[in-house]
Every structure is written in structure tokens, then in C-alpha cells.
Amino acid sequence: MSYNTLSVGVPWDEFETFPQYLDAVERRGTALNYGCYVGHTAVRLYVMGDDAYERPATADELAGMQAVVGEAMAAGAMGFASSSSPTHNGDKGRPVPSRVADLEELSALLAPLRETGRGVVALLPAGVIKHHDVFALQKEIGRPITWTALLTVQGYPYHEKVIADNDAAWDDGAEVWPQVSCRPLVFQMNLAEPFVLNMRPSFAALMGTTKEERLSAYRDPAWRAATWEELSSGIPFNWKALSVAESDLRPDLIGRRVLELAEEQGTTPLDVILDISLADDLTTRFWSVLANDDPDGIAWLLPRDHVLLGLADSGAHVSQLCDACFATDLLGNWVRGRKVMSLERAVHKLTGEPAGVYGLTDRGTIDVGKAADLCVFDPDTVAPGPLRRLRDFPADGERLTADAPEGITHVLVNGVPIRADGEMVPEALNSLPGRLLRTR
């Protein structure tokens, strides 16, 4: 996420606590309906300050964090979210504070959800908190747990074992919902923010540095040599997955694999991406498929019980990926094209099923008295449409968007048509017909 965009685009002077944040959102209004988890990292930083990055919490700090979560749930938070993923680093390349916490801390912070009987727990297990810990945690807390993400890897049927374990846990009374995606996990990164490489020490050390410092490192032969050695040892970086995605300076390279370019030039693929990027001030983007690249495995996962469709990453990585169009992808590519499930079941998995998990009893199905959140589409033509890059965020921030879907005729938010006859309705969008959704 762009620090510059967040620093000037968020009205930080309007809130400090989570209840105040929800009130600020509600005052300003939203185009779509919006609900929000209270986040583990934010809670840890609020109570512990910079120490949140470095050490376990004391008993007093744990009690303080528990109180913050309880206050957030009372205000209507949709639940609590935490990550222990090694891919999630923050200030100066340090692990985000939620990664410092152990299972005991997580359990303590979920107590308010158990006590109120409300909210969903959203996790990214890895590192300290393992996947098998989630089942016992759910039975202890008594609230639904969803985790991201159950992805496929071609030639490695890991997802089948996870589903077998999850089905057995359901039989034992544990309500755990892995999130699955119908789209390959694809990143478009540049070397100004090389997310795919930031887990490697040489690149992690550059997080939080200035652009000039990063450019200096990329030019330094010693840094290049050390980084190449690092990327080639242990678990080698998968250069086969990397291609040139966008380049104003070298449009002739778009679509070319980095490994092929390295072979042609008689150099390393690291040198290729560094040289191309330095020539155009780090704006070149590289396309990388990280996971979810087994179509048969995806087709097996999508229609299953006890999995939620998700992983849109619609708030993070906005300049690197856009999977917010997963719904139209599901209906077009997977339902109409591959026939992985009936249209009716697909619609339910996009609407009624997640609404039920989150306890949104006033929406999710079409019924008298429920919110008129409606989408009218043509099942014969519905499809995601193209992605495009915009620079319309504060501080000249950029994002990918999929705002030209095929086959979507009308969209209504709380009864207000924001799309009609295949076209957006600007005045309706500007009226902000969405609502802040609070758990009750």
C-alpha cells in the first residue's frame, strides 16, 4: 500500500479509535456497502507503540489490546483480522507487528468476539500460527474463521490435503472457511516496490529507504553480485514466472520472459530487470504468476462446501494486481466456460453464502424487506473485461481497475441504480448510496 497516498488521502485528524474511524466513514458516505475488521497490527501499534515490532506483549498490554478489540466489536466491527505471513513486512522492512504475536496473544484478543457472539475471524496462517491451529482456535472462540488463501500449485496437490483436513474438522464441529480464488495469483511489480522480492534479505533491507538509495543499490555491482547469490541459493527465485508487463521506454519487450532476455544478452535475469528498470526510473512492471496456476485444481475447489470465494486484495497491492473482477470471472470463465457448477450455485456462493457467514441477515438474498443490492447480468456474455491502470489516487497514486466488465447490465446499491443499461451512472455514484455495515 502506498504510504504517500495513505498519508494525504486519509483524514487522520478525524479519528483515533476504531469507533471514531467507523463514524468518520459513515459521515463521509460510501458508494458501495462497506464493513471493516479491526486489525491486529493496528491494535498492537496503538497499545505498544514501536515496541509492537520487536517483542511479546506484557500482561498489561495484552489487557489493553483486548479492551481495544472489545470497543471495536461494540462499535460494529465485522470481526478481527490478523496475519502471520512471512510475505507481510512493514516499516523499514520489519515484520508487521501481528507476526510478532503468538497463538496465546491471538486467542486472548479474540475473547471479545466469543463474549459478544458476533464477528468473523480472518487469518493468514503461516510462521508462528499454523493452519492446524485454526481448528482448535475456532472451537475455543465459537465464531466463524476464514483464512487466506487456499491456492493451487501445479504438480503439487497440497490443496486436496487441506480440504480433507477441513472437511474432517467440520465433521468435528469446527466452522472454518478457507478462501479460494478463481484467478491465478498474478503480481505486476516494479522495482520501486518489488513486493515479490521483498522477502529476500537484500531487497527487504531497501524497504523504507529513499528512491535515491534504492537506485544507488541497484547500480552497485557489489550489491548485484550479493543479491544474485542470495536469489540463487536456498529456495531459488523462480525467474521462469517473470515477464515484462508494462514499459513505456521498451514496449517491444512487453510479454517477453526475463529468462529469455537474460540468455539473449548473456547476463543474469537480475541484471535484466535492474537494467531495464534503471533506464526508465523504475516504472517498468514485471508480471509474475505466484500461485493458483492449476486450472483443474481450481475447478475442483470452487464448487466445494465450506470454502468462501475471495482473495480480491481490493485494498492492498492496488498498483500490482486487481482481482476485484473475480465474480465476473467465475460466472463467465468457470460457470459458462468450464461448467464447474450450476449458475444458481455460483450466484449463491457470491451472495447468500458469504452474507450468512458474516451474519448479514438483511442482505445476500432477494426477499421482501431486504436491501436491494442487485446485479443484472447476461449469463451468455458476462466476463471480467480488461484491466487498466489509472493515476487518480491522492499523491499521484496509481491503481489497476477492472471497470469495463462484459455482460453486466444493471447494478443497484440499496435500491439506487449505479449502473444502468451497461453504463455507469455518475450522479448515482456521487450520491454515495452505500451504507456502513455494522455487526449487531
Q: 169: which 3 cell numbers?
A: 474438522
The C-alpha cell 550479493 sits at: 226
Instruction: Give ∠ CA 282-286-288 in degrees, rounded to 5.
Output: 150
Least confident stretch, 77-86, 99-108, 186-195 = 186-195
- Using the predicted structure, report yes or no on whether residue 80 has a pLDDT greater than 90: yes
DSSP code of residue 5: H
Q: Give the chain's mean pLDDT.
A: 95
pLDDT, residue 140, reads: 97
Residue predicted with more confidence, 347 or 313: 347
How large is the average pLDDT for residues 367-388? 96
User: Of 354, 358, 348, whose CA–CA distance to 36 is shortest?
Assistant: 358
Residue predicted with more confidence, 90 or 79: 79
- pLDDT tens for each residue of 245-296: 999 999 999 999 999 999 999 999 999 999 999 999 999 999 988 899 999 9
d(CA 203, CA 218): 10
What pTM, to 2 d.p., does this model score? 0.89
- Using the predicted structure, report yes or no on whether residue 187 has a pLDDT greater than 80: yes
pLDDT, residue 195, reads: 85
Per-residue pLDDT band at 411 (split at 50, 70, 90):
very high
pLDDT, residue 169, reads: 97
Whether the bond into 168 is cis, omega within 30 of 0:
no
How large is the average pLDDT for residues 105-110? 97
pLDDT, residue 276, reads: 96
Backbone angles phi, psi at 256, to 5 degrees: -80, 140
**Domain residue spans in the chain?**
187-284
d(CA 110, CA 118): 11
Least confident stretch, 48-57, 196-205, 332-341, 379-388 = 196-205
Residue 103 near residue 144, CB atoms below 8 Å: no
Where would I find the beta strands (DSSP E) of 40-161?
79-83, 120-124, 145-147
Least confident stretch, 102-111, 144-153, 312-321 = 312-321
Residue 307 near residue 149, CB atoms below 8 Å: no
Helix (H) or strand (E) holding 180: strand 176-180
- pLDDT tens for each residue of 9-50: 999 999 999 999 999 999 999 999 999 999 999 999 999 999
d(CA 90, CA 111): 27
Residue 188 near residue 400, CB atoms below 8 Å: yes
pLDDT, residue 196, reads: 86
Instruction: Give ∠ CA 185-191-197 in degrees, rounded to 5.
Output: 50
Query: Percent of the chain at pLDDT above 90?
Result: 85
The Cβ of residue 231 has, within 10 Å, a number of other Cβ atoms equal to: 20
pLDDT, residue 394, reads: 95
CA distances from 13 to 7, 39, 427 (A): 11, 19, 29
First to last CA, the chain: 30
Q: 10: which 3 cell numbers?
A: 486519509
d(CA 253, CA 245): 8
Residue 331 near residue 341, CB atoms below 8 Å: no
Instruction: Give ∠ CA 247-248-251 in degrees, rounded to 5.
Output: 65
How large is the average pLDDT for residues 190-199? 90
Per-residue pLDDT band at 96 (split at 50, 70, 90):
very high
Residue 168 near residue 311, CB atoms below 8 Å: no
Residue 302 near residue 309, CB atoms below 8 Å: yes
- pLDDT tens for each residue of 206-257: 988 999 999 999 999 999 999 999 999 988 998 988 999 999 999 999 999 9
Residues in Cβ contact with 264 at an 8 Å cutoff, skipping those fewer than 6 apart? none
DSSP characters for 190-242? BTTB-GGGTTSHHHHTTTTS-HHHHHHHHH-HHHHHHHHHHHHSSS---GGGE
CA distances from 91 to 45, 49, 85, 132, 303 (A): 12, 13, 15, 29, 39
- Using the predicted structure, report yes or no on whether residue 313 has a pLDDT greater than 80: no
- pLDDT tens for each residue of 172-184: 999 999 999 999 9
pLDDT, residue 312, reads: 79
Amino acid code (one letter) for 305? D
pLDDT, residue 131, reads: 85
